[in-house]
Amino acid sequence: MKTRIISAIVMLPLLILVYLGGIWLKMAVVIISVIGLDEFYKGFKAEGVKPSFPIGIASVILLHIFHTINAQMGADGPDSGVLYALWLFIVVVACMIYGFKVEERKTEDMASTALGIIYVPFLFHFAVLIDECDYAKNYIWLVFIIAFGTDIFAYFSGVFLGKHKLCPTLSPKKTVEGAIGGMIGALVFSLLFGNFFLEPGHAFNARFIIMILIGSIVSMLGDLSASAFKRQMGIKDYGNLIPGHGGILDRFDSVLFVAPYLYFYIALVLPGII
């Protein structure tokens, strides 16, 4: 428990980058994406699969280049959906070409390369999209409040109250009581944040509360999905960069699910904000 608390303190500088936003948050997203992608690929290598890290790095860079082009050109440029579709097409083609050396590489080498790119840098990129939404800029904080709030409260609720296993095949220590505590913690933190930092009417309404509760569930799904990968790969953690948590991907696995979920919820359920 002590190690996890120290690790949480170590992560506090991230809050400064979230506060600064803009280019600083983009740089953090790129760096975390590259490190997380490397950790993810090393997990595959542990079971004999050989994804291409160079293609992964090139995909991260290209994604942010396309995003920058779209942001700078605005209405005069191509539709952002077209650019993202083009990026996806390039990624798929690059992964297919990677498999041309059939005597050295297998189908799973190509598939794992593409999966890592979609799973880590693409999903994390939604944090940048939220940060750049003028009327929803402060919602970027909710990505981390929901993800980390769920994790922290689920951990302590599980330690002190946990009796019923939530998903023992994936994560033996997670409990139903911990999951409920995580949802309550995420909601409390989010409501406090909304009361002080969001515009009047954005918090303490049904749609906002539902957004947080579903977001907490999504956060846990992200955590369990990462656990499923690790079980298949035969590893305990993705790395050892963060004491008590493992690697970058062990800490941000929930964020990878919460960021796109929150973006789409705001866009589709809370119209007028984005």
In this predicted model, what pLDDT tens digit does every residue of 14-60 receive, in sequence order? Answer: 778 888 888 999 999 999 999 999 999 999 998 899 999 999 999 99
DSSP per residue, 30-91: HHHHHHHHHHHHHHHHTTT----HHHHHHHHHHHHHHHHHHHHHGGGS--HHHHHHHHHHHH
Q: In terms of pTM, does the model score above 0.85?
A: yes
Q: Are 262 and 215 in contact (CB under 8 A)?
A: yes
- Whether the pLDDT of residue 107 is over 80: the answer is yes
Q: pLDDT by residue (tens digit) across 138-194?
A: 999 999 999 999 999 998 998 888 788 998 888 888 999 999 999 999 999 999 999
Q: Are 3 and 106 in contact (CB under 8 A)?
A: no
Strands of the chain (E only): list them. 165-167, 171-175
What pLDDT, on the 0 to 100 scale, is given for residue 162?
78
At 157 the three-state DSSP class reads: helix
CA 18 → CA 12, 95, 241, distances in Å?
10, 32, 21
Residue type present at position 132:
E
Q: Which residue has the higher pLDDT, 236 or 37?
A: 37
Q: Are 83 and 56 in contact (CB under 8 A)?
A: no
What pLDDT, on the 0 to 100 scale, is given for residue 274?
47
| DSSP classification of residue 120 | I
* Helix or strand run (H / E) with residue 230: helix 206-233
What pLDDT, on the 0 to 100 scale, is given for residue 2?
55
Residue type present at position 182:
G
At 154 the three-state DSSP class reads: helix
What pLDDT, on the 0 to 100 scale, is given for residue 35?
95
At 102 the three-state DSSP class reads: coil
At 131 the three-state DSSP class reads: helix
Phi and psi of 172, rounded to 5°? -60, -25
Q: pLDDT by residue (tens digit) across 65-104?
A: 999 888 887 655 567 788 999 999 999 999 999 999 999 9
What pLDDT, on the 0 to 100 scale, is given for residue 1?
54
The angle subtended at Cα 230 by Cα 56 and Cα 116, nearest 5°, is 15
- Lowest-confidence region among 10-19, 96-105, 215-224: 10-19
- Whether the pLDDT of residue 108 is over 70: the answer is yes
